[in-house]
């Protein structure tokens, strides 16, 4: 039987520390050649627009395959992750995956921050106040002992509400900033989680020795970071070079006339496994450009499925009966 696990049940079992551990472990498996990833592809839908997206990953060590598929139509996103068993081909679960996706994306930035940010990083900036911004900030707080956070987004009311919620959730001072420059200047860790198609910060504002997580833009013509931010980055890591070459406008646009720069870009799993070096100086500026890959969905889906089975959650669907 296939287990249907809905959004409420995912929220009931999955925590960000669980997602962070799952993403870090799947990075190690990917480095060992036990995890294979197919980059995201998409159809642009006719008659009014919208998109259908899909990507997949296989974990031979765990014996599982997952595909993440989702639509974006009229401003609404609908996420689904089917989880399969390799040995039997059985469809183990259909998991509603909006919350799960937010958790795994935040977790990935947490992993990157763990390996790239300075050990003494204490201040953070976040540009954006949506659901993904919350998990970005929470994940960073799990791997560094933050003392203060500054937040900027275009809507003052959303900024205030975000700061109040996250101050209570994280038990630290999360305060609104009047501009992106005010938020970013002096921050040890900078996160961008916006829907903007154009740069949301001035690269000159980024502090020496800062770490930057950029997760918002995932189309070739969109970017959150300007040329200065990219040119100042001493180390650049991505989730997938193949996928980044297709849709990471933050790198595609500034690298257009300098394709040789792609040779200096590395993947997160290489860093986690120690196959490439991370920060070697307190003054280096490090960047993690995230687009999101299916191995993260697979890793977290395995966790959610196991916990749902253990707690007798979900409902069985008589598929293929």
Q: How confident is the model at residue 48 (pLDDT cuts 50, 70, 90)?
A: confident
pLDDT at 190 over 90: yes
- CA torsion through residues 249, 250, 251, 257, sign: positive
pLDDT at 184 over 80: yes
To the nearest whole number, what is the mean pLDDT of the chain?
Answer: 96
Q: What is the mean pLDDT of residues 164-171?
A: 96
The predicted structure's pLDDT at residue 116: 98
The predicted structure's pLDDT at residue 277: 96
CA distances from 154 to 20, 166, 217 (A): 29, 18, 17
Q: Domains along the chain?
A: 2-101+295-317 (3.30.1780.10), 117-292 (3.40.50.720)
Number of Cβ within 10 Å of residue 79's Cβ equals 20
Residue 138: enclosing H or E segment and its boundaries?
helix 131-143
pLDDT, tens digit, 9 for 90 and up, residues 226-242 = 999 999 999 999 999 99
Percent of all residues in the chain with a pLDDT value above 70, rounded to a whole number: 100
The predicted structure's pLDDT at residue 47: 73
CA distances from 211 to 50, 70, 120, 278 (A): 34, 30, 12, 11
The predicted structure's pLDDT at residue 317: 97
Instruction: Classify burial at 87, counting beta carbons within 10 Å of its beta carbon; exposed 0-12, middle 13-18, buried 19 or more.
Output: exposed
The predicted structure's pLDDT at residue 218: 82
pLDDT, tens digit, 9 for 90 and up, residues 253-290 = 999 989 999 999 999 999 999 999 999 999 999 999 99
Residue recorded with tokens 């929470």: 138
Q: What is the mean pLDDT of residues 180-198?
A: 96
Contact 47, 285 (CB under 8 A): no
Residue recorded with tokens 């009014």: 48
φ, ψ at 249 (rounded to 5°): -55, -30
The predicted structure's pLDDT at residue 217: 82
pLDDT, tens digit, 9 for 90 and up, residues 58-112 = 999 999 999 999 999 998 999 999 999 999 999 999 999 999 999 999 999 999 9
The predicted structure's pLDDT at residue 86: 98
| Alpha-carbon gap, residue 278 to 5, rounded angstroms | 38
């Amino acid at each position: 039987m296939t287990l249907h696990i809905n959004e409420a049940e995912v929220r009931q079992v999955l925590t960000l520390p669980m997602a962070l551990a799952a993403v870090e472990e799947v990075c190690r498996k990917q480095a060992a050649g036990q995890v294979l990833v197919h980059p995201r592809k998409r159809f642009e839908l006719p008659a009014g627009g919208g998109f259908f997206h899909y990507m997949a990953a296989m974990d031979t060590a765990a014996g599982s395959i997952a595909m993440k598929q989702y639509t974006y139509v009229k401003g609404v996103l609908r996420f689904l992750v089917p989880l399969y068993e390799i040995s039997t081909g059985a469809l183990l679960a259909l998991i509603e995956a909006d919350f799960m996706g937010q958790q795994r994306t935040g977790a990935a930035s947490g992993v990157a921050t763990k390996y790239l940010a300075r050990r003494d990083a204490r201040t953070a900036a976040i540009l954006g106040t949506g659901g993904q911004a919350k998990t970005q900030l929470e994940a960073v707080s799990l791997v560094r002992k933050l003392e203060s956070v500054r937040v900027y987004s275009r809507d003052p009311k959303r900024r205030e509400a975000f700061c109040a919620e996250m101050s209570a959730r994280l038990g630290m001072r999360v305060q609104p900033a009047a501009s992106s420059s005010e938020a970013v200047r002096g921050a040890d860790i900078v996160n961008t989680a916006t829907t903007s198609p154009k740069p949301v910060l001035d690269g000159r504002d980024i502090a020496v020795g800062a770490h930057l997580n950029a997760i918002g833009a995932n189309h070739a013509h969109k970017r959150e970071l300007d040329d200065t931010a990219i040119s100042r980055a001493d180390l650049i890591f991505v989730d997938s070079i193949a996928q980044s070459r297709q849709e990471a406008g933050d790198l595609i646009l500034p690298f257009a006339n300098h394709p040789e720069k792609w040779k200096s870009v590395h993947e997160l799993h290489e860093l986690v496994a120690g196959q490439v070096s991370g920060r070697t100086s307190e003054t280096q500026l490090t960047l993690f450009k995230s687009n999101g890959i299916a191995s993260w969905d697979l890793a977290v889906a395995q966790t959610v499925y196991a916990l749902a089975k253990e707690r007798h959650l979900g409902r069985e669907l008589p598929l293929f009966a």
